[in-house]
Amino acid sequence: MSFTIASRIRLNDGHLMPIFGLGLYQAASSSKTTQIIIDAIRLGYPLIDTAELYRNETQVGEAIKNNNINREQIFITTKLFRTNDGRQGLHKSFNNSLQQLNTNYIDLYLIHAPQGGHVLEVYKEMIQLQKEGKIRSIGVSNFGVQHLKWLKQAGFIPAVNQIELHPWWQNEDIVDYCRINNIAIMGYSPLGKGHFLNDSYLIKLSQKYNKTSAQILIRWSIQNGFITIPKTTSGIERLQENMNVFDFILSDEDMKDLTNYGKKNSQNTGWDPTKNGKEKFGPIS
Ligand SMILES: NC(=O)c1ccc[n+]([C@@H]2O[C@H](COP(=O)([O-])OP(=O)(O)OC[C@H]3O[C@@H](n4cnc5c(N)ncnc54)[C@H](OP(=O)(O)O)[C@@H]3O)[C@@H](O)[C@H]2O)c1
């Protein structure tokens, strides 16, 4: 599989999306974060994943504005955190995001989780924003199979579902459903938030390939066809390390073994709203 950092996939709405980018969860609202984003873009990171919740959309906006970066060069994902306030809440949050990101469109706008109700009302309004050219692609995050089925019943198939994905948390039912329905799969916490990097099996693999544990995990995501967004704010070296994953291939056997190994020790690293019920999703018609 010959991917490069510039590789893109075609989403079900026709837009192209990079397969690799920088995640910004828990990246501070500070000039250090702005600098990391500038460094990432200069190194060639084609995608930035932020969110209303992360409070660092301003830093993304600053990085693009102050450094003569062509907006079209960067694919920006951001997320609406609360659907609780329906259409009105969406407009308020969306306009705030546009302002902070210093842009007039979002490449991929996600509903952060199926937990606030009014999901269909909000989704419908996002389609309106898409028609106005303010959102290129519409996606969801932390949606389980049932949530995706409820969306489909209402006639909506998102372009992307962003869910936790690494060998220790494989969400196979959701991945299978997305593949069958042509929904691109964006994996978050590809490094398991750093929790598994000293795992002895992973270290053995990293020695075999002369790569780091982080690089093995990012490669596992890419070879599974997941769009991946490892986060780092600690400096340019890790930015470089995490993007230096396009010059090797994990063998089919090692992919299979790592997949099976993770499955046996299954563990997620954050929240898991994928199983929230209908009461959290909101009325379905
Ligand atoms: N939609 C959602 O609900 C949701 C939930 C979680 C995450 N996300 C998105 O997915 C992105 C990635 O997930 P994540 O931030 O949870 O975790 P992650 O990317 O799996 O791991 C990040 C952790 O690994 C460390 N790290 C990064 N590169 C490293 C390397 N080469 N060697 C050793 N340690 C390294 C980072 O520390 P340093 O920063 O100090 O380098 C940080 O502690 C987020 O930033 C966010 O954009 C979305």
Q: Tens of pLDDT along the chain (285 residues)?
A: 689 999 999 999 999 999 999 999 999 999 999 999 999 999 999 999 999 999 999 999 999 998 888 999 999 999 999 999 999 999 999 999 999 999 999 999 999 999 999 999 999 999 999 999 999 999 999 999 999 999 999 999 999 999 999 999 999 999 999 999 999 999 999 999 999 999 999 999 999 999 999 999 999 999 999 999 999 999 999 999 999 999 999 999 999 999 999 999 999 999 999 999 888 887 765
How many angstroms is it from 195 CA to the middle of ligand 1? 10
Write the CA distances from 224 to 83, 157, 163, 184, integer angstroms.
31, 22, 14, 12
Which pLDDT score, from 0 to 100, does residue 1 have? 61
How many angstroms is it from 189 CA to the middle of ligand 1? 5
Q: Cβ(23)–Cβ(229) under 8 Å?
A: yes
Q: What is the DSSP letter of 270?
A: S
Q: With respect to CATH, is domain 8-269 assigned 1.10.10.10?
A: no
- Best residue among 37, 188, 240 to mutate for probing ligand 1, ranked by most atoms within 8 Å of CB: 188
Q: For residue range 216-234, list pLDDT tens digits in order.
A: 999 999 999 999 999 999 9
Which pLDDT score, from 0 to 100, does residue 284 have? 61
* Residue 147 assigned as binding residue: no
Q: What is the DSSP letter of 76?
A: E
Which pLDDT score, from 0 to 100, does residue 113 have? 97
For 99-157, the DSSP string reads: HHHT-S-EEEEEE--TTSS-HHHHHHHHHHHHHTTSEEEEEEES--HHHHHHHHHTT--
Helix (H, G, I), strand (E, B) or coil at 63: helix
Q: Using a 6 Å cutoff on CB, does residue 25 contact ligand 1?
A: yes
- Select which of 45, 54, 109, 177 is catalytic: 54
Ligand 1: residue whose CA is nearest its atom 12? 189
Q: For residue range 62-115, list pLDDT tens digits in order.
A: 999 988 889 999 999 999 999 999 999 999 999 999 999 999 999 999 999 999
Does the annotation count 109 as an active-site position?
A: no
Which pLDDT score, from 0 to 100, does residue 283 have? 76
How many angstroms is it from 216 CA to the middle of ligand 1? 15
| Domain coordinates in residue numbering, the chain | 8-269
